[in-house]
A = this chain, B = another copy of it.
Amino acid sequence: MSKKLILRDDEMPTSWYNVVPDIPNGLRPPLDPATLQPIAPEKLAAIFPMGLLEQEMSPERNIPIPEEVLEVYKIWRPSPLVRATKLEQALGTRAKIFYKNESVSPVGSHKPNSAVAQAFYNKREGIKRLATETGAGQWGSALAMATCMFGLKCKVYMVRVSYNQKPYRKSIMQTYGAEIVASPSAYTNYGRSVLERNPDSNGSLGIAISEALEDAVTSESTNYALGSVLNHVILHQTIVGQEAKKQMEIAGEYPDVVIGCCGGGSNYAGLAAPFVPDRLEGGKVRFVGVEPASCPTMTAGKLAYDSGDTAGMTPLLYMHTLGHDFMPPGIHAGGLRYHGMAPIVSALIRENIIEPINVHQMECFEAAVLFARTEGIIPAPETSHAIRAAIIEATRDLNEPKTILFNFSGHGLVDMAAYDSYFAGELHNYSLPREEIAESLSHLPKVE
Contact = CB atoms under 8 A, between A and B. Distances in A.
For the complex of A and B, the 3 pairs showing the least CB-CB separation, nearest first, are A171-B416, A3-B74, A168-B416
Nearest to A5: B9
A145 interface: yes
B82 A75 contact: yes
Nearest to A142: B376
A9 to B, nearest CB: 4
Nearest to A420: B171
Given A8-B6, A9-B5, A172 B377 contact: no
A414 to B, nearest CB: 5
A180 B278 CA distance: 49
Given A3-B9, A145-B376, A174-B423, 14 more contacts: A2-B9, A3-B74, A4-B74, A6-B6, A6-B78, A71-B85, A104-B104, A108-B413, A145-B372, A146-B376, A149-B376, A168-B413, A168-B417, A172-B378
22 contacts: A2-B10, A3-B71, A6-B6, A6-B7, A6-B9, A74-B82, A75-B82, A75-B375, A106-B411, A107-B413, A148-B372, A148-B373, A149-B376, A168-B168, A171-B419, A171-B420, A171-B423, A174-B420, A175-B372, A175-B378, A175-B419, A414-B416
Interface in A107-160: 107-108, 112, 145-146, 148-149
B2 A176 contact: no
Contacts of A5: 9
A77 to B, nearest CB: 8
Chain A interface residue bracket vs B: 35 or more
Nearest to A71: B3
A149 B416 contact: no
A378 B106 contact: yes
Interface string A1-34: 0111111111000000000000000000000000
Contact of A75 (B3, B106, B108): B3
A446 to B, nearest CB: 45
B74 A376 contact: no
Interface in A166-208: 167-168, 171-172, 174-177
A295 to B, nearest CB: 24
A80 B12 CA distance: 14
Contacts of A411: 106
A72 interface: yes
A369 interface: yes
Interface in A262-283: none
A100 B174 CA distance: 25
Interface in A328-381: 369, 372-378
Contacts of A376: 72, 75, 106, 112, 145-146, 149
B9 A106 contact: no
A2 B172 contact: no
A86 interface: yes
Nearest to A422: B175
Contacts of A420: 167, 171, 174
Nearest to A2: B9
A419 B175 CA distance: 7
Given A149-B376, A413-B413, A423-B174, A74 B9 contact: no
Contacts of A7: 6
A416 B372 CA distance: 23
A231 to B, nearest CB: 25
Nearest to A10: B2
A413 B416 contact: no
Contacts of A374: 149
Interface string A289-328: 0000000000000000000000000000000000000000
Contacts of A104: 76, 104
Nearest to A70: B3
Interface in A62-84: 71-72, 74-76, 78, 80, 82
